[in-house]
Amino acid sequence: MRHTLAGLGLVILAAGSVVPAAAQGVSLAGTWKLNVKESDDPRVKIQEATEAGPSVRSGMSSGGRVRTGAGRIDGESGGGKDAGGVTSLPGPDFARIIKPTQIISVEQNDTIVVIRDERGLPQIYYLDGRKVEEAGVSTEPNVTTAKWKDGKLTVERQLGGTGSIREVFVLDAAKKRLVVEAKLTSAQLAKTVQIRRVYDAGS
């Protein structure tokens, strides 16, 4: 684990007191499989938010192009759509939400939570609320904070000038499920997008 952390090149900005996760008797650890039927469709959510903004006609009174969604012109630079016509948001952090992997594994102890998938480097969250800075897709760095409280993991990501993501991870012990509530903000969206993911316990 020490080598993994060093390889990420993270810069710790500030630290607070450690909140022991194990002391609360709840652990998110395990292998989890995405339940597509119980989860929101991220593409639908993003499309709804993109189309929620006002339509504005640009150019001359006739023949001008129509701005849709959050005030963009269809096809103009700065935006971007995937093959399905859905607005794409920049960076791997948004991609993890919009196109989630089918399987994730979670490791947890008193001070950190590590979430792994097949995309590469693991996501490592310190549970004491410290700020961790790393390079992002914009000129501004990404800053991540995580807190463990009342059996919930809350992760806040400020993604430079591209937006922000807030995720809350909750264990539904009765149904043996991991539920993740995500909130996305971006200048490319007309409003905050809320996306719910549900994972069943893997074998």
Task: Give kind and range of the element (H or E) at residue 153.
Answer: strand 152-159
Torsion angle (degrees, nearest 10) of CA 23, 27, 29, 31: 170
Q: Indicate whether 12 pLDDT > 80.
A: no
Q: Indicate whether 14 pLDDT > 50.
A: no
**Mean pLDDT for the chain?**
77
Q: What count of other Cβ atoms lies within 10 Å of the Cβ of residue 74? A: 12
Quick: pLDDT tens for 155-189. 999 998 889 999 999 999 999 999 999 999 988 88
The whole-angstrom separation of Cα 154 and Cα 201 is: 20
Please indicate, yes or no, if residue 172 is contained in any of the structural domains.
yes
Residue 6's pLDDT is what?
Answer: 40
Residue 178's pLDDT is what?
Answer: 98
CB-based contacts of 164: which residues, under 8 Å, 6+ apart?
156, 157, 158, 184, 185
Q: How many domains does the chain have?
A: 1
- β-partners of residue 147 are 128, 154
Mean pLDDT of 117-146: 87
Residue 99's pLDDT is what?
Answer: 92
Please indicate, yes or no, if residue 2 is contained in any of the structural domains.
no
The whole-angstrom separation of Cα 19 and Cα 74 is: 47
Residue 49's pLDDT is what?
Answer: 80
Please indicate, yes or no, if residue 23 is contained in any of the structural domains.
yes
Of residues 9 and 151, the one with the higher pLDDT is: 151
Q: Decide: helix, strand or coil at residue 46.
A: helix
Residue 138's pLDDT is what?
Answer: 67
Please indicate, yes or no, if residue 1 is contained in any of the structural domains.
no
Residue 54's pLDDT is what?
Answer: 53
Could you tell me the residue range of the domain that residue 27 belongs to? 7-201
Q: Indicate whether 145 pLDDT > 60.
A: yes
Quick: pLDDT tens for 39-97. 999 999 988 887 765 544 444 444 444 434 443 323 333 445 554 545 567 788 899 99
Residue 29's pLDDT is what?
Answer: 96
Of residues 164 and 121, the one with the higher pLDDT is: 164
* Paired tokens of 176: 């043996």
- DSSP letters for 73-123: ETT-TT--B-TTSPBP-SSHHHHHHHS--SEEEEEE-SSEEEEE-TTSSPE
Mean pLDDT of 108-113: 94
Handedness of CA 121, 123, 124, 129 (dihedral sign): positive
Which of 137, 136, 130 lies closest to 156 in space, CA to CA?
130
Q: Which CATH number is 143's domain given?
A: 2.40.128.20
